[in-house]
Each structure stands twice: as C-alpha cells, then as structure tokens.
Amino acid sequence: EAQVTQNPRYLITVTGKKLTVTCSQNMNHEYMSWYRQDPGLGLRQIYYSMNVEVTDKGDVPEGYKVSRKEKRNFPLILESPSPNQTSLYFCASSLEGPAHDQYFGPGTRLLVL
C-alpha cells in the first residue's frame, strides 16, 4: 500500500529539548516536504527536498532542520523547541515536485510546554 508514515503521532515536550519527527514514504518519490498547520493560517511549508542531499527552505523554516540521506526518509528536527512551534505537522511526498499530486502523512501533533 502506497503511504507516507510519520512518527510519533502525538508528542508533548518541554522548551529546549531536542526532538525529531520521522517521515518515510514507500513510493520512490523524489519530492518530500514538511508543513505545519495552524488554525486560521492553513498549511505553510517548512522545508522541502527535491532528492537525496538536496533540501531547501520553505516559507517558515526558522527553528527547524531537515536532512535527506535516503530517498525514502525525511526527518524534521527541532534542535531547541519553543512554545510557538506547538502545531500540527504533516509530511508529504510527490513524484517529482509540488505540481504533481502530493501524498500526506497522518500528521504529528506537537505540544511544547
């Protein structure tokens, strides 16, 4: 079954404690991205990757890091989380880029105290 998986689905942490949210896709897609969804703001892209070792900033990259060492995985790293990073996060992938159909993961709800 074609899918994008994220872990964990729910996470409560404290300010400054580094965390990683994993994302994996089994469709051999080249393009992967991370979004955050906040009430009244819709989805905003954090980072994207066009292929292995190729990443670039989205609209709201501050406070986040990513890596793309393997085609299937695209982890999101918060080195020093802050309360304003409390949000719902989605990973997505598509065949070649955002003009192609994007497949979304189920979401990770993060609360930073």
Partner 1 sequence: GDSVTQMEGPVTLSEEAFLTINCTYTATGYPSLFWYVQYPGEGLQLLLKATKADDKGSNKGFEATYRKETTSFHLEKGSVQVSDSAVYFCALSDLGGGSYIPTFGRGTSLIVHP
Does residue 8 touch partner 1 according to CB under 8 A? Answer: no
Q: Which long-range contacts (CB under 8 A, 24 or more apart) does 41-49 make?
A: 43/90, 46/76, 46/89, 47/76, 48/98, 49/74
Does residue 98 touch partner 1 according to CB under 8 A? Answer: yes
89 near 32, Cβ under 8 Å?
A: no
Does residue 99 touch partner 1 according to CB under 8 A? Answer: yes
Does residue 90 touch partner 1 according to CB under 8 A? Answer: yes
Does residue 1 touch partner 1 according to CB under 8 A? Answer: no
Q: Copy the structure tokens of residue 82.
A: 């802050």
Closest CA to 90 of 103, 72, 108: 108
Closest CA to 46 of 62, 56, 58: 58
- State in angstroms the smallest separation of the CB of 68 from partner 1: 14
Could you tell me which stretch among 12-20, 63-71, 78-86, 104-112 binds partner 1 (CB under 8 A)?
104-112
- State in angstroms the smallest separation of the CB of 58 from partner 1: 5
Q: Site map for partner 1, 53-82, x if CB under 8 A?
A: ---x-xx-----------------------
Nearer to partner 1, 14 or 101 (CB): 101
Q: Are strands 103-104 and 108-112 parallel, antiparallel or unpaired?
A: unpaired
